[in-house]
A = this chain, B = another copy of it.
Amino acid sequence: MNLRSIYLSFIFLFGILQSTAQDTISIANFGLKPNTRENAVPFVNKAMDALKNGQNKVLIFPKGRYDFWPHHCIEKEYFESNTYDINPKRLAFLLEGMTNVTLDGYGSEFIFHDRMQPVTVDNSTNISLKNFSVDWDIPLTAQGEVVSSDNEGFTIRINTHESPYIIENDQLVFVGEGWKSAMHEIMEFQPDTRFVEPYTGDEQALGYGWQNYKAKEIEPGVVKIYREGGFTRHPKVGNLLVLRHSTRDHAGMFLVHSKDIAIEGVRIYHTAGLGVLSQYSENISLKDVKVVPNKAKGRFLSGHDDGFHFMGCKGQITVENCEWTGLMDDPINVHGTCVRITEILAPNKIKCRFMHDMSAGMVWGHAGERVGFIENKSMRTVGYGVIETFEILNKEEFVVELSTPIPEEIKAGAALENLSWTPDVEIRDSKFGSCRARGLLISTPGKVVVENNSFESSGSAILIAGDANYWYESGAVRDVTIRNNTFEYPCMSSMYQFCEAIISILPEIPEPQSEYPFHRNITIENNTFYPFDYPILYAKSVDGLKFMNNTLIRSTAIKPFHKRKAGITLDACKNVTIKDNVTEGEVLGKKVEFLNMKKKEIKLPSREYFEF
């Protein structure tokens, strides 16, 4: 190396160091030290101002514990999909109007208190969030261990540090930092497998009508739950109960009107609403993000609701090497929000209304965006249009003016879908652990690849729904590939809404028209299923469905229970191929049932395991 190259190397190195020094700032520079239990919020607010003003681009947290209380939180009104309109939201980290910013926790624990939204990314571009965990000292969901059972009821042990409670009017009421909340649901988990106890699910931990129970404190932290004559079902001694209370009032991480967001190396041990909610945002990548219980604290519950929830997003959504366990709702849900047309104001002007109270207040559309008109009885998209103007009337209603007249078939009561905000989705190498409800819910016309994942879902592993009559979570699919996944035996071991099989394709169509299927092009191939029960696939209103090259290995871990006795059930489908599937053991669901369609729509080679 000559002098010149040494000189150049020096200049190069100096450049790197200088750039790092200028770009990166530590939260310590704002006066906050880890492990002090001091409220981090005012320091984070200052750091966010510095990032916003472009003084620095990388904010780091020296590894340690940081605590966040509502005091000093910026408060903002946000309308968050699938979240109740409890406003203002209290914001711990608000990244608003930022570009090219990285937040790196260096493995720090962020501990939250009371009700607040840990991370909010609003109108920002190219944001990287990495290497931290999110947890609560006193979570907004409780748990207890079943220690005994008798013919009146059962007794649970509650960690009163994490779930302080009182008995009020003979019932169990949890009390925390700024809130008091009565238990309203129970979910039951096995301590060793961490699976939802089979055949329980919604209501079935105690049986229907258990809510008139009585609670009695036996000693501090030990509470008997009972009623005269006992309950339909008593949870097993040794099992862990998630004692659900409170409401979904904010997300763990809320990404809105933002673009190019990467989240990596993040553990969300608890959230009070949806774990990561992406709404009207573009290009989102989640890698090594786990929404799981904090095992070190003995917890079986993680988030209060869904894991990753994508509503009205576009561009590319990538989920890689992620995991969800102990959630009180589905790990992933990708959908849009369709609205009801309530009034035809002019040939090209309509009044619309959000039909679900958790949608109200969102900015649904913008000029230039493409919409689909859905006739709500048949769920047929009968025409398309482009938004000319978009005017918000109030939280529930808005007026859309279109560049062309609306289709003739469309009357008040029909639905409108925004087709400009529909993403392509890749979900791979991830573990859908046991949670309340289902595994993956997906409704987008974009290209969807679901591969190399493992499912231990309690209900259906995958649900492809679509409706414009109840939840208004829009989105017929056009191109879905589900390959190389493993569906473990717990899949479909408890009942929840829309769970017709391990993979359940169930659009809600009041009056289906078999010539116009709702969904299109769904391929399920090269997967391994471990069914203990009959129903493997249920598909309604699909044009172009392939189920092939899958391996089915009978599990005898638990006994079958589902009302369906066919392995594959098809309803009003077209162009179905079932072939080259292989089995091991006495797989139960050999039969293919079909209704509301012609047999010729199903290609089923004679050498195939499945048969009519």
A interface list, Cβ under 8 A from B: 35-39, 67, 69-71, 73, 90, 113-114, 160-161, 164, 168, 175-180
Contact = CB atoms under 8 A, between A and B. Distances in A.
Contact of A160 (B35, B161, B180): B161
A138 to B, nearest CB: 11
Contacts of A175: 37
A180 B114 contact: no
A446 B73 CA distance: 49
Contacts of A35: 168, 180
A179 B37 contact: yes
A38 B69 contact: no
B38 A177 contact: no
A191 B161 CA distance: 26
Given A37-B180, A39-B178, A70-B71, 16 more contacts: A36-B180, A37-B176, A38-B180, A67-B178, A69-B70, A69-B114, A69-B177, A69-B178, A71-B73, A71-B90, A71-B114, A71-B178, A113-B177, A160-B161, A161-B164, A177-B177
Contacts of A176: 37
Nearest to A174: B37
Contacts of A168: 35
Task: Name A's interface SS.
Answer: loop
Contacts of A179: 37-38
A478 to B, nearest CB: 47
Contacts of A177: 69, 113, 177
Contacts of A38: 178-180
Contacts of A180: 35-38
Nearest to A168: B35
A160 B90 CA distance: 29
- Give the number of copies in the complex: 2
Contacts of A67: 178
A176 B69 CA distance: 12
A176 B176 CA distance: 14
Nearest to A137: B164
Nearest to A35: B180
A37 B69 contact: no
A116 to B, nearest CB: 10
Contacts of A113: 177
Contact of A69 (B71, B160, B164): B71
Q: Which 8 A-B pairs have the closest CB atoms?
A: A37-B180, A70-B71, A71-B71, A39-B178, A37-B175, A36-B180, A37-B179, A69-B178
Contact of A161 (B69, B71, B73, B161): B161
Contact of A37 (B36, B37, B70, B178): B178
Contacts of A160: 161
Contacts of A161: 160-161, 164
A601 to B, nearest CB: 58
A35 B179 CA distance: 10
A74 to B, nearest CB: 12
A521 B36 CA distance: 52
Nearest to A178: B39
A164 B67 CA distance: 15
A285 B158 CA distance: 47
A102 to B, nearest CB: 28
Contacts of A36: 180
A307 B177 CA distance: 29
A146 B220 CA distance: 21
Nearest to A36: B180
A160 to B, nearest CB: 7
19 contacts: A35-B168, A37-B175, A37-B176, A37-B178, A37-B179, A37-B180, A38-B180, A39-B178, A69-B69, A69-B70, A69-B177, A69-B178, A70-B71, A71-B73, A71-B114, A71-B178, A160-B161, A161-B161, A177-B177
A73 B71 CA distance: 8
Contacts of A73: 71
A312 to B, nearest CB: 32
Which of A37, A114, A164, A179 has the largest count of B CB atoms less than 10 A from its CB?
Answer: A37
A168 B67 CA distance: 17
Nearest to A180: B37
A469 to B, nearest CB: 37
A176 to B, nearest CB: 7
Nearest to A181: B37
A191 to B, nearest CB: 20
Nearest to A160: B161
A37 B37 CA distance: 22
A175 B71 CA distance: 18
Nearest to A113: B177
A365 to B, nearest CB: 35
Nearest to A176: B37
A180 B38 CA distance: 7
A172 to B, nearest CB: 15
A114 to B, nearest CB: 7
A223 to B, nearest CB: 16
Contacts of A37: 175-176, 178-180
A35 B167 CA distance: 12
A70 B72 CA distance: 9
Contacts of A114: 69, 71
Nearest to A179: B37
Nearest to A67: B178
A438 to B, nearest CB: 34
A527 to B, nearest CB: 46
